[in-house]
Structure 1
Amino acid sequence: MIDVMAKPHQLIASDRVEGTAVRRPNGERIGHIERLMIDKISGKVSYAILSFGGFLGIGTNLLPLPWARLTYNPRFEAYELDIDDEELRHAPSFGADKDFDWGDRSQETELHRYYGTPPYWGGF
């Protein structure tokens, strides 16, 4: 039997992404990935939900990030997000006790406009 986990590869299980740190390029920790949002039709990861702020889950903000804004940095064993405090403060977010309306394409469009990334479904 071959141990496929012994060979380095590009794939990662979703449960191993959840909880992974998100850091700035200088290594400063911003938060962690709470969950992934996957397009049911294409099977592609569309968003990572960044959890940051708060203490023991109280006052925690969840920030939907277009997956294209994150890059994996093996040096930090974390996802990297080049975002400053001002951009982070004004980013579309929702409280941990609420949910983003994933059925509202206009909210998703605004999210992509904010980050300057093309929507995963194509075009603005």
Structure 2
Amino acid sequence: MTETHSASVLSHPLIESDRVEGTAVYDANGRQIGTIKRLVIEKVSGNIAYAVTSFSTFLGTGSETHAIPWNYLHYDLKLQGYHTNITEDQLRNAPEFSRRDDHLLSGRDWELLSEYYAGPL
């Protein structure tokens, strides 16, 4: 990243959602484990609740999507992507929810996801 680009990122702390979608997600070792597919925003507060992350399945035969609570992702200027302490294995074993789910992680589903990630990371 150039100094000009770094200064630009720091002087403009906001980003449009379409620029977040497709951004790489890296584990604690700096290895890319997926990309952000979409953000889920709480309607009333406007806060981002979680990011739906897409990553390749075993042997690259397709892709899976899993939700990561937004507060577990931190933008890393050096990587130009989001860094998390969540491992690929933890992500693969996380509760899965479909976009077609009526509640879209509201109520008990959101609690299950929160409880899952509240464990040791």
Q: TM-score range by the shorter chain?
A: 0.7 to 0.9
Matched to 2:79, the amino acid is F
Q: Distance in 2 between matches of 1:104 and 1:12?
A: 26
Q: Distance in 2 between matches of 1:61 and 1:99?
A: 15
Runs of 4+ in 1 over 4 A off after TM superposition: none
What TM-score does the superposition give when structure 1 sets the normalisation length? Answer: 0.76
Q: Which shifted more, 45-54 or 7-16? A: 7-16
Correspondence for 2:28 among 25, 29, 54:
25
Partner of 1:90 in structure 2?
93
1:107 aligns with 2:109: yes
Question: Where do 5+ consecutive residues of structure 1 fail to align?
Answer: 1-5, 118-124
**Count of aligned pairs between the two proteins:** 109
Percentage of pairs with the same residue:
40
What TM-score does the superposition give when structure 2 sets the normalisation length? Answer: 0.77
RMSD after superposition: 2.5
Partner of 2:77 in structure 1?
74
1:10 aligns with 2:13: yes
Partner of 1:121 in structure 2?
none
Q: Distance in 1 between matches of 2:49 and 2:19?
A: 17
Q: Distance in 2 between matches of 1:92 and 1:33?
A: 17
Q: Contact between 1:61 and 1:94, CA under 8 Å: does it hold in 2? A: no
